[in-house]
Amino acid sequence: METLQQSEKIIAERYRILGKLGQGGVGITYAAVDLNSNQKVALKALSLRLTTEWKKIELFEREAKTLSGLNHPGIPRYIDCFQVDTSQDRCFYIAQQLAPGKSLAQLIENGWKPNEAQVRHIAYQLLEILAYLQSLLPAAIHRDIKPQNIILQKNGRVFLVDFGAVQNTYHHTVTGGSTVVGTYGYMAPEQFRGKAVLSTDLYGLGTTLLFLLTQKFPSDLPRHKLKVKFREFVSISPEFADWLEKIIEPASEDRFHSAKDALSALRGEQPSGINLDKMFKRSPQSRITLIDTKRWLLIKIHPDRSPSKLKWFFQFIHLSYKFLLPFSLILGFVLSSLSCEYTTTDWLQRLSGRFFNISILAITTFTLFYALMWLCMTDYRQFTRPIQIRSPDIQRVKLSGIHLPLLKKSITFCRIRAKSRNYCFGLFLPQAEKEWLVGELNDCLSKLK
């Protein structure tokens, strides 16, 4: 990018360029100093004048949007995104925390030869980062895992950088994904077809680890039916070699289903076996994650837009039920006993009788509201504890409703009748999402019959 080649140039009256860090498929990254904080940052830039494809601008904007929502110690912190207009050009910028250290590619070029323990330690950290990305809704796929995009500090800490090729699972599902993004040698076979799934990043991780162990580019290693043959070039334990064999399987369905499963297997634990690629999503803004594993059905509702006014209302009902209602009952019984002792005071007898009747009515009303509140609190707990049901146990799925005298419309919620118990949830969801969820659940149920 011509306008930023020289050091000491100040961008947006805030960032002073120190030098060029690298150039990728989308933009050039510079080391810079934030004049406001005096901290070093990575400043990624893209010139509109020098860009030949509009797709790069789309990827740049997607990267900025993704980075702004990430919060993980292994991903450099997002700072800002802005553009600078001149008479000749428009430049887009992303400012991030500068990851200290050197890339794995630089370290190998400088003669570093890591052993199995060091490679395992890098794998653990990267899998934790990928597991975090895959836990997002929608899940994020980096699509360009390679040695150049992994920074290693002297203390062994790892950073994953350059999210210029990032894609979310929803975008891929809706559009079909037709753009080939990645780096040859580290790209999973499905990426050549413009496809990316959760295990795509695992393939990139596996080939990166092979590069560390063999000191060879993955494209230079022999292959048989697309499968990389690496065992004769490494000196590692059979268990680790078997793990690497699985993570670089050419067919995505033969790899570990997710980073979490790969991490469990690397630690010697039993993988969960849940294929997160089979998620159903209504929209990118949806709070619902529905996972069908044929044997188990998992439903996760995220509390991004939980209605605070309703929560305050039910908290008030809860306090009323615990404190005001007992007080009214005690007062009603006291007045009733007084009316029995002083029968000559007819007005006191009538007053106590009416108060007692009001207390009984209050008990009924508050009990109804409390039952509704209990249902809401049960529903709210699903935000932090997903519903997990054995698929064969499901007998019926429907949308149920509660009609309250003070409300014109019924309050609906999702109900699953299973062999052992009933599950009621989704009270706070919009009506359209409730109907969608019940429809998807019935589809899952019909496939079992």
- Statement to judge: residues 51 and 145 lie in one domain: no
pLDDT-derived band at 69 (thresholds 50, 70, 90) equals: confident
The better pLDDT of the pair 310, 369 is held by 369
CATH number at residue 85: 3.30.200.20
- Statement to judge: residues 57 and 137 lie in one domain: no
Residue 168 maps to a domain: yes
- Statement to judge: residues 201 and 211 lie in one domain: yes
Residue 281 maps to a domain: no
Separation CA 275–CA 263 (nearest Å): 14
| Domain count for the chain | 4
- Statement to judge: residues 238 and 112 lie in one domain: yes
> Does an H or E element contain 187, and which?
none
pLDDT of 32 reads 92
What mean pLDDT is predicted for residues 206-229? 92
Residue 112 maps to a domain: yes
- Statement to judge: residues 243 and 130 lie in one domain: yes
Q: Would you say residue 254 has pLDDT above 80?
A: yes
* Torsional sign, CA 208, 213, 218, 224: negative
Residue type, 390: R
Q: Would you name the residues annotated as active-site residues?
A: 144
The better pLDDT of the pair 192, 24 is held by 192
Range of the domain at 81: 2-97
CB-based contact 159:73 (threshold 8 Å): no
Among 79, 97, 115, the domain boundary falls at 97
pLDDT-derived band at 153 (thresholds 50, 70, 90) equals: very high
Separation CA 42–CA 78 (nearest Å): 10
CB-based contact 227:249 (threshold 8 Å): yes
pLDDT of 121 reads 96
What mean pLDDT is predicted for residues 316-329? 57
What 183-186 contacts at long range (C-beta under 8 Å, 24+ apart), as own/partner pairs, is 183/144, 183/146, 183/148, 184/219, 185/146, 185/217, 185/218, 185/219, 186/144, 186/145, 186/146, 186/218
pLDDT of 327 reads 59
What mean pLDDT is predicted for residues 3-22? 79
**Which string of DSSP letters, residue by residue, matches 352-403?**
HHHHHHHHHHHHHHHHHHHHHHHHHHHHHHTTTS-EEEEGGGEEEEEEEEE-
pLDDT of 131 reads 93
Among 330, 346, 379, the domain boundary falls at 379
- Statement to judge: residues 300 and 416 lie in one domain: yes
Q: What is the DSSP letter of 300?
A: E
- Statement to judge: residues 335 and 296 lie in one domain: no
pLDDT of 279 reads 47
CATH number at residue 229: 1.10.510.10
Residues paired with residue 390 on neighbouring β-strands, in sequence order: 296
E-strand stretches of 27-139: 28-34, 39-47, 78-85, 90-97, 102-103
pLDDT of 282 reads 47
Residue 360 maps to a domain: yes
The better pLDDT of the pair 442, 223 is held by 223
Residue 69 maps to a domain: yes
Separation CA 275–CA 257 (nearest Å): 5
CB-based contact 324:332 (threshold 8 Å): no
How do residues 387-417 score in pLDDT, each as one tens digit?
777 777 888 888 888 766 555 667 788 888 8
pLDDT-derived band at 96 (thresholds 50, 70, 90) equals: very high
- Statement to judge: residues 269 and 301 lie in one domain: no
- Statement to judge: residues 184 and 259 lie in one domain: yes
pLDDT of 380 reads 46
- Statement to judge: residues 45 and 112 lie in one domain: no
Best-predicted range by mean pLDDT among 123-127, 330-334, 340-344? 123-127
Q: Which range has the worst mean pLDDT, 7-16, 127-136, 320-329?
A: 320-329
Kindly state the percentage of the chain with pLDDT values over 90. Answer: 28
What is this structure's pTM? Answer: 0.59
